[in-house]
Amino acid sequence: MKEITEGESRLLVPDVSMPEKGEVFYNPTQAVSRDLSILFYQSKDMDVLDGMAASGARSIRLAKNGVKVTANDYSKGAVKLIEKNAKLNGLEFPILNMDVRKAMLSQRWGAIDIDPFGSPAPFVHYALESAVKFIGLAATDTAALCGTYPRVARRRYDFVSKRTPNYPEIGVRGLAGFVVREAAKLEIAARPVFAHSFQHYYRLYFALSGGARRVDLLLDELGNHNGVGPLFLGNLWDKETVNDMIKLSKNFEFGHKKSLAHLLLIKDELKYPQPYFDLHALCREKKLKCPPLSSVLEKNHAVRTHFTPLGFRCEGQPKL
């Protein structure tokens, strides 16, 4: 083990060069995910089950930032490490050693966060049944969601997938559509309120509410994009949520230097809910020399996207 600092917290983590080789999983690049999840749950002010807590990095940081959290992991080694990290930071909160599905069903939780290694699909139904207001989930099987393995996408998420120029966002929207459809089976409206992508993972948060009418309206926002679908084609971000997160960020100690930049880009992105355009792909399609992105932004009153430095959003079809 080695001791590191992430944001406001001290953490004992496996001293390995590759995260997957450690006895307990800890990935420093997921500090972006943890930063934004803390701001999200702070803005909602409710109890959170960190269902697959691993080293406890998310749980520790949530607790240090005043969020009422319960940590759970199936691994006894992980639970021991969470206990050590809690003590290292002078914290006390409930720590469970259960299968995540049993932990979710053990009581009702204000919010449930699941961060599996791979697909969240096997756990979504349990989270929807047990969360009162919100669920947050991550997916690291991005190759399936973004079109590299369409058969896997069909099996896991029941949507037609193929590689598109804006594949990171299409993968996020495919995952969002899957959750919306799974929730509809329980007559729950699961509306995306925050989403982001960074390196090897996607992350989404959903606000839950009851009522057949709300479910039907949400299902109306599903559709196809360039032959891929069904996808969620509505806005991936709730304006009030994003603004609240930005306000909270002013007194927040980030664990990753890119987290705030992501959040500020998303603030602009939510004005344009349609999928982003990839500049290089557009120029190849139209057989044009690629202009500077800055000139494209100015000509189209467009904004950048956090998904890729080569992407932008605007209303309608862009002018090059």
**Amino acid type, 62:** L
Q: Which CATH architecture has domain 2-269?
A: 3-Layer(aba) Sandwich (3.40)
pLDDT at residue 260, as a whole number:
97
The rounded percent of the chain whose pLDDT value lies above 90 is 93
The secondary structure of residue 160, as a DSSP letter, is: B
b/e per residue, 200-225, with b = 16+ CB within 10 A? ebbbbbbbbeeeeebbeebbebbeeb
Which residue in the block uniquely carries the two structure tokens 């917290």?
9
pLDDT at residue 29, as a whole number:
85
Which residue in the block uniquely carries the two structure tokens 């996020």?
172
- DSSP letters, 42-62, are HHHT--EEETT-TTSHHHHHH
Which residue in the block uniquely carries the two structure tokens 């960074």?
198
Alpha-carbon gap, residue 281 to 277, rounded angstroms: 8
pLDDT 10s digit of each residue in the chain, 320 long?
A: 899 999 999 999 988 766 555 567 688 889 999 999 999 999 999 999 999 999 999 999 999 999 999 999 999 999 999 999 999 999 999 999 999 999 999 999 999 999 998 999 999 999 999 999 999 999 999 999 999 999 999 999 999 999 999 999 999 999 999 999 999 999 999 999 999 999 889 999 999 999 999 999 999 999 999 999 999 999 999 999 999 999 999 999 999 999 999 999 999 999 999 999 999 999 999 999 999 999 999 999 999 999 999 999 999 999 99
Helices in 131-166 by DSSP H: which ranges?
142-145, 150-157
Peptide bond into 230 cis (omega under 30): yes
- 287 C-beta neighbours (distance < 10 Å), count: 6
Give the residues across from 72 on adjacent strands.
96
**Amino acid type, 117:** F
Tokens of 80: 């021991």
pLDDT at residue 15, as a whole number:
83
The residues, ordered by sequence, that sit 6+ positions from 114 with a Cβ below 8 Å of its Cβ are: 51, 52, 100, 120, 123, 124, 127, 135, 136, 137, 138
Tokens of 279: 């500049």
Three-class DSSP labels, 191-224 = EEEEEEEECCEEEEEEEEEECHHHHHHHHCCEEE
User: Domain boundaries in the chain?
Assistant: 2-269, 277-313
Tokens of 168: 């990171």
Alpha-carbon gap, residue 212 to 186, rounded angstroms: 10
Alpha-carbon gap, residue 257 to 262, rounded angstroms: 10
pLDDT at residue 118, as a whole number:
92
pLDDT at residue 26, as a whole number:
83
What backbone phi and psi angles, to 5 degrees, belong to 6? -125, 110
